[in-house]
A = this chain, B = another copy of it.
Amino acid sequence: MRTPEEYKESLQRMRPNIYKFGELIEDVTIHPATRHTVAGHAKIFHIAQDEKYHDVVTTKSSIITPELEISRYLSLIRSEADMIVNVKMKRLLFNLTGTCTGGRCVGWNAINSMWATTYDMDQTLGTDYQQRLKNWLISAQKNDITISGALTDPKGDRTLSPCQQSDPDMNLRMVDLDVGERDGDIVVRGAKVMICGVAASNEIFVLPGTGYKEPDKDYAISFVIPRDIEGLTIIETRHPSDLREFEDGFDIPVTDGGITQAYLLFEDVVIPKERVFMAGEFKFSLNAVLNFIMSYRASIGGCVAGQGDVMCGAAVLVARANGLSEKQFNEKLTQMYINNETTFGIGIAAAALGKQHKSGIWQPDPLLANINKVHVGTLPYDTKRIAQDIGGGIAETGCIPSHKDFMDDEHGYGKLLQKYLKAHSDAETRVRAARLVEWLTLGAGVPGCMHGGGSPQGAKLLIRINSDLERSIKYARELAGIDEPVEPKK
């Protein structure tokens, strides 16, 4: 398995094709727009060498003989235990990086989703997709590469299907060109948007956007590509306070952790058939997406719990720095932990009540997975609010002069700022702690937990579908001794 250095070198060897602020990023490991997230992802390789965390982030391959130790992010999730470690690992990585290392978990989820989906396709259609996937995955495991995942299409008008859009490229699709591709290769055009962590990844696993029907079959595609494949241009989006990442000093307090989200622009990219896992089998696109989101929604509770843990710590650091004891915040801290453990726990429960797909993949309970998506779109906001409450005025919106002003020597006011920012702790400690609260609650560390992996509203729809209202009605009727069938008014 790779060392952190080998991981970074692998990124440096790639063709630069990522832009931000109109500038091509030559080296993602040192460019200010991407180095934070790369450093965060590198921590995964780092802790793989740490006895304390080794068993969390590594496992044995189920497809390589003799058994090989691999990164858990490249493994097939085959049991309740595997799924539980998934949730725990996400929590751990948020603990250690303070934010999302989404350049790995989305790709991992995509691999597992397509493992089940290719199994079903092959069984039904006689295709050989799973073998292709297996071949690629064995190689990926052996080379210990980092794989991000891409799901969301631009979509255009949300009320129209892909083929109804005035511009057919609003969802990623196969186009019928002759650009030198071999038989079985596909050529794709369009975009994937808001894709997490591609700058930190070697390859990108692409899923179809949603459930498609026959006329949309050119949109039912799944494949994996090197991040620097010809024809792919990547634009990093902004995030809150992102320009601070270009500054010196501690106004971005976290150096080994950060988030990026990108727009991927596909200009007739040729995908070799060995890397294609769906190409027009529209009936299976919904499965691919559902397989993905159930697992994603079950485990995202670990993410927000992990970030919530850090918020508890950060808020108490500011309080202590202010000269206050955390005892007076007991009720609030307890609520923060309740929020954290609730999203974590529902994820664990979804894992525990899951079942094994015929392909071997462990599928979490869909009702609990979607319940968790709703909590993930709600409870962290409450946790952030409490962190700002405990942290006080300097933490709430990071209401502190800049690092440059704090260090000012030229005008003479730097010393005064340091004097007045001191409380129970040193001024710098107090500022760093307050900046961490800011970074976590409305700064560069805020992940998109509301809409990542789909929106709460969509989850609510699935909750209603997966809740057995008729059974509830039956129980109620029996208890109340009602014989009349009580049908809803038409």
Contact = CB atoms under 8 A, between A and B. Distances in A.
State the copy count for this chain. 4
Given A235-B405, A253-B480, A324-B489, A313 B472 contact: yes
Contact of A323 (B84, B159, B474): B159
A263 B420 contact: yes
Contacts of A394: 194
Nearest to A80: B352
A237 B401 contact: yes
Chain B CB within 10 Å, residue with most, of A194, A310, A384, A399: A399
3 nearest A-B pairs in the assembled complex, by CB-CB distance:
A313-B476, A313-B472, A345-B349
Given A236-B401, A324-B489, A327-B488, 8 more contacts: A22-B411, A97-B479, A158-B322, A235-B413, A238-B401, A240-B443, A314-B479, A346-B346
Interface string A112-129: 000000000000000000
Interface stretch (A141-149, A214-222, A282-290, A423-431): A423-431
Contacts of A312: 467, 469, 472-473, 476
9 contacts: A240-B438, A243-B243, A313-B471, A314-B479, A316-B472, A316-B473, A346-B349, A352-B352, A435-B480
Nearest to A347: B349
Contacts of A433: 476, 480, 482, 486
Interface stretch (A46-54, A173-181, A385-393): A385-393
A78 interface: no
A451 B327 CA distance: 20
A489 B338 contact: no
A330 B463 CA distance: 10
A397 interface: yes
A426 B483 CA distance: 10
